Structure 1
């Protein structure tokens, strides 16, 4: 008997979460739109039917940021909660992609923080010394989650793939859905004789970098490419941003692509379960991603908190294609006019209050030991 996919409409809480975590979360589905690049408000609605979050607010300030699209849904929620509690502060986040977020931050002058799904390179760190007087840019992990592999196949609502097969699909070496390698992983499933349309990001992306890292780590023989922000595989089609990829997959029969789980959930899109060698293939969820992230190791130096993942894990219930988005900030040399609001906002996002709402919007909270380190570093920013 085949195991059916769990209903993803329910709230998935991480290990150790309580019923209170669900009760305190979203009481109304109110959305805000983020500020435009010139800093003006665009139809911002800060009213809410729910309780005001407990936040140590700055009195005033404007905090501009840009970058990762993977964390944009978390940022929307955090900004809404923060500005409702702290009306004197305005936070702007423009989801341009990780590459753009890093580049804008390193150009200096306008961005208090950047968002990226891939840690800064040594070259980036050296460049950052020009925009962080007396200091350098550091990576602060803030949002966890799985990279979902979404697909669009008629009459197939449960699909299992493993790392070698995924690598061959995204490298155009498996090109039809009824290929024997896919059929072997899905006994009893009638797979259509349909061309595979593999969709990847056209922009430089930390989500791409993390998928490249997973494929290189879990299937090195099939994916001999570096873990870069730019796409490394051959063939396929491309789209801009996570929202572009999910839209392309949703509109194309036979398509497959990768994006943060909340994008798949919003489209009610089926996602692949990954055969890791565990007793059961693992689906993408906040709970399984938390299990994968919990095994990560902090490898950053000084105040930098870059994480290293075990992409070859076969632990039960641990989803292996995970990412953590980092907020890039200066450890020293921040704009004195922006610093109080920046520290207040980041202290909130890394707090228990900020992290416990993430499962409701299909993200995985940071392991508490990592979140505690982030809070300690935020308090020292100068």
Structure 2
């Protein structure tokens, strides 16, 4: 890296003052001899998981000062490409243009993209006292709601799939991310592939409809939803508060609520992306699947790094972090429903991840 990020500087100052921050060195001796700053930034969906991973990393390597700023996927990738961080979190794979820029950023090496955080995206709503565990909604209905075509909660399209629920005539207020977001790209990709003509927009990190209610990052969407009844939005499932209800989505002949198991099932049913490599383990999610037990509104959040770093210290520190995140202990730590409730990666995927991590080196 050419210069430490503002995030890393703040982290270092905070730790020096003795304040609490995930990633602050505990001051213990690190048998591996690793040390130095390791700043990261990116997807806010990874925030809870990353906090847990940084704590585990600190236990193993207290000399490495790891930090993570949940600024959103797009900003995180930009910071990584500008060498403000050593790694990034992104809810979407890098574009061809970003990968080309990555060659220079990675000192002639390649961008490494590893699918280390797999989580369902929940469609949540604020309808107190509804009494239903989940509202059952077809993908076409969800598309109509978020496109502004279905405007009240007792609309016939909603009532048809929820015959035993006393639906109110409350106005529907869709809430979306205001910042460029991989969560938005994953959600709009699902609508585009599963809802057909009901969603007349392409998948995009930027919400395609203007004049909507919105919030910055995951926390902003949740706060906006909690402020008014009748709201509906899409958020990382780990960050849905207890006072919001969630949707079971139509898949084939059934309605499937989100769960780590259902998220893992759709990943297993999906092929590798067309341009995937042994360093870029990107996945083409089967959003329009009809396979039983799958939840297709899934977020695969990639941890992005370089195959080549300027210094041996950066390369060694990044390898250590990615090794811990991919480990059984790291994956089980965030799979705990009290933490993030994510779906642990499979043993096969772990072996391919470690083969990529082993190629990370210094220039």
Tell me the TM-score normalized by structure 2. 0.88
3-state SS of paired residue (2:105): coil
Residue 370 of structure 1 is matched in structure 2 by: 349
Query: 2:334 maps to what in 1?
Result: 358
Q: 1:273 to 1:57 in 2, by over 3 A?
A: farther
Structure 1 residues 95-244: aligned runs within 5 Å: 95-108=70-83, 110-156=84-130, 157=132, 158-233=134-209, 235-244=211-220
Q: CA deviation at 1:86?
A: 1.8
* Greater fraction of residues in helix: 2
CA RMSD of superposed structures (Å): 2.0
Alignment match, 2:27: none
Deviations 1:270-304 (A, max 9, x none): 211111123x3111111211111222222212421
CA distance change for structure 1 residues 334 and 271 in 2, over 3 Å: closer, same or farther? farther
Query: SS at 1:297's partner residue?
Result: coil
Q: Is 1:64 aligned to residue 39 of structure 2?
A: yes
- Is the Cα–Cα contact under 8 Å of residues 172 and 234 in structure 1 kept in the other structure? no
What's the counterpart of residue 293 of structure 1? 267
Name the residue aligned to 2:26: none
The 1:115–1:57 alpha-carbon spacing in structure 2 relative to 1, beyond 3 Å, is: farther
Q: How many residues align?
A: 339
| TM-score, with length taken from structure 1 | 0.84
Instruction: Name 2:246's counterpart in structure 1.
Output: 271
Structure-2 separation of matches of 1:369 and 1:186: 40
C-alpha separation in 2, matches of 1:225 and 1:103? 25
Residue segments in structure 2 that go unaligned for 5+ positions in a row: 1-6, 24-29
In structure 2, the CA distance between the partners of 1:85 and 1:341, relative to structure 1 (3 Å rule), is same
Query: What secondary structure does 1:221 align onto?
Result: helix
Q: How far did 1:111 drift?
A: 0.6
* Cα drift, residue 358 of structure 1: 2.2
